Amino acid sequence: MPDALRSVLLSEDEIRRRVAELAAQISSDYASVDELLLVGVLRGAFIFLADLSRCLTIPRRVDFVALSTYGGETTTPGEVRLLLDLRTEVRGAHVLVVEDIVDSGRTLALLLRLLRARGPASLKSCVLVRKPARLEVDLSIDYLGFDIPDVWAVGYGLDWADRFRTLPYIAVVEPG
């Protein structure tokens, strides 16, 4: 484990097993739809989406959005910017947003609002990790991998100043 990291939070094995479980549940829930549109939130969700999408047994396509959050602690609700939009038509589609992590919940809440306004046939969310202690908005997550404590998590797509994204496990960064 790199020096800057304190401990492993979720091992490669735990993640692989949970992703397979989520994919099985999603494949079963969407068994009757023509096609599922997976919307990955760049950049953090790219690894989770890659693994999840390959475990699904139903017809699906993959597209991406990129979002940026303004400011820090003082950011007011809704101050999230769409940097990259979908290429795919959302109207009439069965959309599943795939996100790496939910902290305050503001980013995902905003994205869901934005997509719902485009008239999808259905809209749900799949999140790998959530920090329940940090939630600030009322947000229902349809498929959740894990709840984690209020720490800065890295690995499996999650970064710390662009480092550690490609670690196969999720670890806690050593503060300071």
Catalytic center residues: 103
Three-state DSSP string of 22-82: HHHHHHHHCCCCCCEEEEEEECCCHHHHHHHHHHCCCCEEEEEEEEEECCCCCCCCCCEEE
The region of 35-43, 57-65, 86-94, 131-139 touching Mg ion under the rule CB under 5 A is 35-43
Q: Which is nearer to Mg ion, 90 or 100 (CB)?
A: 100
Residues 79, 52, 21, 11: is their CA dihedral positive or negative?
A: negative
How many residues touch ligand 5GP (CB under 6 A)?
15
- Shortest Å distance, C-beta 105 to ligand 5GP: 5
Q: Does 170 bind ligand 5GP (CB under 6 A)?
A: no
Stretches 7-15, 22-30, 56-64, 151-159: which one binds ligand 5GP (CB under 6 A)? 151-159
Calpha distance 133→147 (Å, rounded): 10
111 binds ligand 5GP (CB under 6 A): no
Assess 44 for contact with ligand 5GP (CB under 6 A).
yes
Residue pair 145/158 in contact (Cβ under 8 Å)? The answer is no
**CA distances to 54, 58, 165 from 168, in Å:** 16, 26, 9
According to the binding rule CB under 6 A, does residue 69 interact with ligand 5GP? yes
Residue ranges binding ligand 5GP (CB under 6 A)? 44, 69, 101-107, 152-154, 158-160
